[in-house]
Amino acid sequence: MKTAPKKSPLRILLLGGTTEASALAEFLAGAPNVSATLSLAGRTTNPPASTLATRIGGFGGIAGLSHYLRDQKIDLLIDATHPFAARISANAVDACRACGVPLLAVERPPWTPVPGDDWIEHDTVETAIAALPAEAQSVFSGLGRQAIDALRLAPQHRYLIRVVDPIELPPDLWHCELLTARGPFRTGDDARLFADYDIRYVLSKNAGGSAAYAKIEAARQLGLKVHIVRRPALAARTTVQSADEAMAWISQHHRSRSDLGV
Fold match between domain 10-109+233-259 and domain 119-229: yes
Express each pLDDT in 162-196 by its tens digit: 999 898 898 888 889 999 998 899 999 999 999 99
Q: What CATH homologous superfamily does 10-109+233-259 map to?
A: NAD(P)-binding Rossmann-like Domain (3.40.50.720)
Average pLDDT score, the chain: 90
User: Domain residue spans in the chain?
Assistant: 10-109+233-259, 119-229
Sign for the pseudo-dihedral over CA of 172, 224, 194, 191: negative
Express each pLDDT in 8-61 by its tens digit: 889 999 999 888 998 899 989 888 888 999 999 876 666 666 778 889 999 999
Residues 6+ apart with CB under 8 A from 33: 7, 9, 10, 254
| Nearest-angstrom CA–CA distance, 84 and 99 | 24
Residues 6+ apart with CB under 8 A from 189: 214
Architecture per CATH, domain 119-229, reads as 3-Layer(aba) Sandwich (3.40)
